[in-house]
Structure 1
Amino acid sequence: MRIVVHGQQAFGKSVLEALLDRGDDVVAVYCAPDAGGRSDPLKEYALHLGFEVNQPASWADPVELEKFRSHNADLCVMAYVTAYVPEEVLNAPVMGSIQYHPSLLPMHRGPSSINWSIINGETNTGLTIFWPDSGLDTGPVLLQKDVAIGPDDTAGSVYFNSLYPMGVDAILESIDRIESGRAPKDPQDPAAGSYEGWCRQKDAEIDWYKPATTVYNLIRGCNPQPGAWTMIAGRKVTIYDSALAGSMAVEPGQITDISGEGGITIAADKGSIMVMQVKVDEEDKITALQYAERTGLKVGDRVGSKPSES
């Protein structure tokens, strides 16, 4: 079967590697246009192997569509594509296109599905391989795999430890099902599920007056990107490694402990958060204790702002 790989970043590279390792016939590689001065790992790997890498600036260009059709592909494998792809492209291969999505569709359609599932405090997620259509993650489902979210999991740990490796295997399994004629197209219920947009900086500001579990879920769901943050002494401090801690009879946002064995403990509603790793503005990550020592932070100091001050 002639396959086009359309993807990005490390996940796209791993899918291409896996397909080539088992002898699949990859006839073309597509990835997003270069951005931010950083080269895409999928692009670099494909170029190293001698592939021409296609990076359409817009699928509205009829030349790009004709070029895609010229590959005479049987299937397009979309390995973590977040940009819109029109149906003319999706349907160009003989068997159409399949796409990886890191949630159990129809739940958490959209580009930040892992973030939102953890921010919402959910204990289960998964991945879906589906047949994309003109909607946003709305096409029929081919297969799904469940993944548990542990109480201390982060967006990074759920993705890299589970959804990433399982996703590569799920794509291979899906291709095998297609080749054997056993690939379902189970419609999604358009009235079910949810859609969320990008999880951005504006969504990641910590409100210490919210319950500690809610704050902890936000920190976990934003780790490593976009990073949950708060203001301390006029500077933006992003929090990474952290843990739930006990309740203290103090106002939320107050520092209740600074310990070399842990870090900085900050009160929230009905509990507190022990902060262990931070980043200040655009500087490198450091331990919370290092941050406290450098800035002179002490027990009793306040972080963030009261709701009326936000």
Structure 2
Amino acid sequence: MRILLLSHAFNNLAQRLFVELRERRHDVTVELDINDAVTREAVELAAPDLVIAPFLKRAIAETVWRSVPCFIVHPGIRGDRGPSSLDWAILDSEPTWGVTVLQAEAEMDAGPVWACCEFPMRDAAKSSIYRDEVTEVAVAAVLDAVDRFAEGGFMPQRVDPAAAGVRGRARPAMRQDDRAIDWSSDTTARVLAKIRSGDGNPGVRDRLFDRTVHLYNAKAAAGFEGPPGYVVARSGPAIARATIDGAVWIGHLREPAGEYPFKLPATHVLAREVAGLPVVPVDAPAGFGEIAYREVGDVGMLEFDFYNGAMGAEASRRLLAAYLMATTRPTKVIVLLGGTEFWSNGMDLNLIEAARSPADESWANINALDDLAEAIVRTQSHLTVAALSGNAGAGGVFLARTTDLVWLRNGVVLNPHYKDMGNLFGSELWTYLLARRAGVAAARNVTEARLPMGAAEAVALGLADDSIAGPTRSAFTRAVAARAEALAAEPDWSLRMAGKARLRAADEADKPLALYRAEELEHMRRNFYGFDPSYHVARSNFVREVAKSRTPVTIARHRDRRCLFPRRIAS
């Protein structure tokens, strides 16, 4: 079928549906929900059989849903209505939650239901649950709904919230007062639930050192105590704030009235105020914890979980140090596990935007990432594996490809391109890695198309070596560990290592790795310091969440005159 995805933003779920629907040979195009006139124009141009709305912040115009069937993907169980569904589910400690696909009508979230799926709730932030459980069941529900619609004969049913057995109900938009923290009475568990209910957006409004800030990225801080509400320690990006029965780490803040009104590490926002507090090394057992290493037999497992997958210069240097330590261990395989939500998204654009010189910080950041990339490519002591249970974008994709093997969890979405960030050239040795794995023509197509891709396409192109099915991310990690142990136990392991060394030597003789890096960085220097400000404008707009005025033609195929996406003419 011809399907138009209508979305407030091309977010994680929208990208995943774009990939999954195209893999099932549907003709898919995307329009960002900018205003009613633009949406009506998109429907006229695309002439879709079906409109699917994975992420909206307002109602679809009546002229649209009356002209073409529109499916709304609502992150709530049957009967649930309202814009803060997942927020309430977390705050109310719901044991299970779900996603409902319903048809748009005049009343919000009240149309007939085409499909629904439920999942057990996890003790995690809203953004994490949305990117994992919500996305997984949403894809399943949408595919069911699309199949039912295509086959015909299915009669969607309306849900009466007052009916017996219906848990869902209409609830208002959650206000800041609904999740406000009372530091004099809220337990650690309650504080975490409140912050997690707003993580991603809009955060929890609070006061720190007489400054109004929004709180994000919280976890329990074991072993700390103090007067409730007081900040008692700092660790890497995070501050520890005491509760009535312990403390919580708060990793990120946003100060709406500040000079930089976007998310930044808490210790960056409050640098002067927390300068005299006790310091706990970030990756120590009692610290905030972003990098961890463990061994399973002859396999070293290196986990790194940076907020939103952003790897600033300091984070990249710490990860390089941890990686180099892992190469000194008497193991045979090193697995780079990344984090639960993202493996890596490359440079930390928020920190760059808040720097005194964004150009200098960009240069420091990309060089730190290149140091890590080069160290992995040059490793001769171990086989290396990148195991992606979460998504990756831009430099993060090519950082993963520096390893000998890349394994993806089914459902992972990759964005292997930089150009949407102001025509940024990119580095992390991609000009060496992509052409070597995918070929020159495919490498050009990948970087120019600027489209998300799923695991199957990534394997076919050579961006990854295999995909692994698994119902959960913990199951994926177990499968990865078992595969890595099998690699380490292979009788021809030494022959494999010898072959790896020969290939690296041949590649080095053909063109030194340092030359690839120098050529890429020369392009990046022009991006950062040159006369064209496109990168700096695009980065600032991205970080400050400036609404797009149009949908890029790379995803809005109905607006690309080069695409064979003809308008249908009524008979």
- TM-score normalized by the length of structure 2: 0.41
- Asked whether the 8 Å contact 1:140–1:188 carries over to 2, the reply is yes
Change (3 A) 1:284 1:163: closer
Q: Which residue of 2 aligns with 1:4?
A: 4
The SS at the match of 2:191 is helix
C-alpha distance in structure 2 between counterparts of 1:274 and 1:263, whole Å:
10
Q: Which residue of 2 aligns with 1:102?
A: 75
Alignment of 1:49-198 (within 5 A): 56-57=36-37, 64=40, 68=43, 73-93=48-68, 96-107=69-80, 109-151=81-123, 153-181=124-152, 183-191=154-162, 193-198=168-173
C-alpha distance in structure 2 between counterparts of 1:245 and 1:73, whole Å:
51
- How far residue 292 of structure 1 moved from its aligned partner, in angstroms, is 7.0
The number of residues matched between the two structures is 266
Change (3 A) 1:225 1:200: farther
The SS at the match of 1:188 is coil
- Asked whether the 8 Å contact 2:115–2:142 carries over to 1, the reply is no
The SS at the match of 2:111 is coil
Q: 1:278 aligns with which of 244, 252, 256?
A: 252
- How far residue 150 of structure 1 moved from its aligned partner, in angstroms, is 1.7
Q: Which residue of 2 aligns with 1:31?
A: 32
Amino acid in the other structure paired with 2:217 = D
- Asked whether the 8 Å contact 1:199–1:226 carries over to 2, the reply is no
Q: 1:239 aligns with which of 202, 210, 215?
A: 215
The SS at the match of 2:36 is coil
Alignment of 1:291-302 (within 5 A): 291=270, 295-296=274-275
* Residue segments in structure 2 that go unaligned for 5+ positions in a row: 256-260, 279-571
The SS at the match of 1:150 is coil
C-alpha distance in structure 1 between counterparts of 2:49 and 2:88, whole Å:
35
Amino acid in the other structure paired with 1:295 = V
Higher relative contact order (CA 8 A, sep 6+): 1
- How far residue 265 of structure 1 moved from its aligned partner, in angstroms, is 4.2
- Asked whether the 8 Å contact 1:275–1:288 carries over to 2, the reply is no
C-alpha distance in structure 1 between counterparts of 2:127 and 2:178, whole Å:
17
C-alpha distance in structure 1 between counterparts of 2:222 and 2:141, whole Å:
41
C-alpha distance in structure 1 between counterparts of 2:152 and 2:228, whole Å:
58
Q: Which residue of 1 aligns with 2:243?
A: 268
C-alpha distance in structure 2 between counterparts of 1:140 and 1:79, whole Å:
16
C-alpha distance in structure 2 between counterparts of 1:105 and 1:188, whole Å:
7
C-alpha distance in structure 1 between counterparts of 2:247 and 2:154, whole Å:
46
Q: Which residue of 1 aligns with 2:305?
A: none
- How far residue 159 of structure 1 moved from its aligned partner, in angstroms, is 0.6
C-alpha distance in structure 1 between counterparts of 2:251 and 2:193, whole Å:
16
The SS at the match of 1:252 is coil
- Asked whether the 8 Å contact 2:234–2:277 carries over to 1, the reply is no
Larger radius of gyration: 2
Query: After superposition, what is the alpha-carbon deviation per residue over 1:59-102, rounded to whole angstroms, capped at 9, x for unaligned?
Result: 8xxxx48x846865432222223321244422323xx2222111
Query: After superposition, what is the alpha-carbon deviation per residue over 1:150-176, rounded to whole angstroms, capped at 9, x for unaligned?
Result: 22x100110112212432343223211
Q: Which residue of 2 aligns with 1:211?
A: 186
CA-based RMSD of the aligned residues comes to 3.5
- Asked whether the 8 Å contact 2:239–2:251 carries over to 1, the reply is no
